[in-house]
Structure 1
Amino acid sequence: MAGPTQVVTLRSVTNGSRLVTVKDPKALKQQPLARLIPDMRDSEWEGFCADIAVRAVKVPLEVSDDGTVLDGRHRLWAAPPNPG
């Protein structure tokens, strides 16, 4: 039986939007400069995850052609897996 997958809309900075099935979100690379942006506080994170669970990810992630997440790491982490 296949494990859970994650379906998110990724917007390539050169190729426009496309729907991509992400089997392992950890396979996407994180932008090194993202470390400079603080993570959400626990209360913010819980509310953010609850909103994503109800409304889904509405704003596509910005991803470079080499799979580096330029914008949207929190959306990626909060997106619930789909049963696979």
Structure 2
Amino acid sequence: MISNCQVCDSENLIFADTGANGGYGPELLPGTGVFKPARFRIVVCEKCGFVHFFVIPEDLDKVKKSRRFRSINELR
């Protein structure tokens, strides 16, 4: 995880964990499960308001195993 904001380098960060499958929004981490999909940790800088999104570490394997994600190297 991060300890400083990537934009302003502030250490004043707050976070919340949330599901990636919004009932009314897009499926942000597709293919990671229907009943217990992968979750995000959202980190917000209190100084500049920049928002960082991370997959919660214990859910990262769900994303890696999802057939909906491909290597970025395939775009080259």
**TM-score band w.r.t. shorter chain:** under 0.3
* Bigger RCO (CA 8 Å, 6+ sep): 1
Pair member with larger Rg: 2
Which structure is higher in helix share?
Answer: 1
TM-score normalised by structure 1 residue count: 0.24
